[in-house]
Amino acid sequence: MSATARVSSSSLPPRTELVRAYMAGDESYEGIFITAVKTTGIFCRPACPARKPKPENVEFYSTAQEALFAGFRPCKRCKPMEPEGASPEWLSPLISGIEADPTRRWRNQDLRELGLDPVRVARWFTKHHNMTFHAYSRSRRLAAALSHIQQGDQVTTAAFDAGYESVSAFNDAFRKFAGSAPRASQNAPVAHVDRISTPLGAMVAASIGGELVLFEFADRRMLPTQFERLSRRFGCLCAPGGNSRVLQQLRRELDKYFAGKLRDFSVPLRVKGTPFQESVWNALLRIPCGVTRSYADIAREIGRPTAVRAVARANGDNHICILIPCHRVIGSNGTLTGYGGGLWRKQRLLEVEGAPAAAAGSAIIQTSLAIG
């Protein structure tokens, strides 16, 4: 289970906003607060589907641990002690089967033999991966087939190994997946995409080769646009799953980061942007953990002191959040400014890092970042 960020209830939004978000079942507040019901003694996630109590019977906490220490017990329906987006225990046999053989062609009867309800499985994958289980499984098979083709296998061999009964059926499925025929995509890199649970909610990560190319909050509205940009920038195909080494490393380092045991990430990164954007992102990487800068500070550092607004736009276009720390950029007066993941997440990240409210410091840090 991922470590929980070290924050306090004092960092919560105003109570009126908490009540509004809870009563509306607003999933964007996942990881921002926990709701505890005084009449039942139970605490829940913001979007718990259970019947809502009267607002006067509700208390709010920053973390599940705080609610536990206050004497409340976790809801059995929304399971607030489990990381959001993590695979539930009942799904473990299927997840293990997928990882053991990504090319396997699953049928509903296979799920039933594992003691799983196909409808329940489809519902979970639709919620957490924006596709049904069968679409997810098909994407995994096609990505695996492309990998074999890129390694020199014949299309016919890859098609049958992927469970297709004919090459034409494989070609049709591949065109829907990649937008081109298998041979035309032979040299295209594959971006392995997976969800990662954090104390601030589910996030989506993508890696190409041994480098991280995308890391965003799963509920961010810009996420579909980020995937389109990713495909254009790298000429890649996005495929779910894959459990790449870089994503495994990212999970380990995030756990340490949120536990307060890691200050600098060593996950290899690769970004592509305009020369101006890349200069801004490199400047962000030079902001030490626990320190903040203003947009004007960044503009001066890159030699463009009048380009404060352009710096703010480039900051917002960062597609590897937390590791390229755009959250460390605040207003010149020390106040929080816009953040794609939400201002409350930005505040949480600064609290985890122990950053002061105002910009300070000038130390330089280095990280493994590949440009272009």
Residues annotated as catalytic (active site), given as ranges: 326
Structure tokens at 250: 């990212």
Report the C-alpha gap between 21 and 31 in whole angstroms. Answer: 12
Beta sheet of 369-371, edge-to-edge order = 237-240, 190-198, 201-208, 211-217, 269-271, 369-371
β-pair partners for 343: none
Report the C-alpha gap between 217 and 173 in whole angstroms. Answer: 29
Report the C-alpha gap between 112 and 66 in whole angstroms. Answer: 39
Structure tokens at 1: 């289970």
* SS3 state at 79: coil
- Closest by CA to 1, choosing from 346, 218, 254, 352, is 254
Residue burial 294-314, b: 16+ Cβ < 10 Å; e: rest: bbbbbbbbbeeeebbebbbeb
Report the C-alpha gap between 281 and 143 in whole angstroms. Answer: 31
Tell me, rounded to whole angstroms, the distance of Cα 333 from its chain centroid: 30
β-pair partners for 193: 206, 240
Given the DSSP bridges, would you call strands 201-208 and 190-198 parallel, antiparallel or unpaired?
A: antiparallel
Residue 288 contacts residue 363 (beta carbons within 8 Å): yes
| CA-only gyration radius of the chain, Å | 22
β-pair partners for 370: 270
Report the C-alpha gap between 217 and 200 in whole angstroms. Answer: 9
Angle at 248 between CA 244 and CA 249, to 5 degrees: 115
Given the DSSP bridges, would you call strands 42-44 and 73-74 parallel, antiparallel or unpaired?
A: parallel
Residue 215 contacts residue 205 (beta carbons within 8 Å): yes
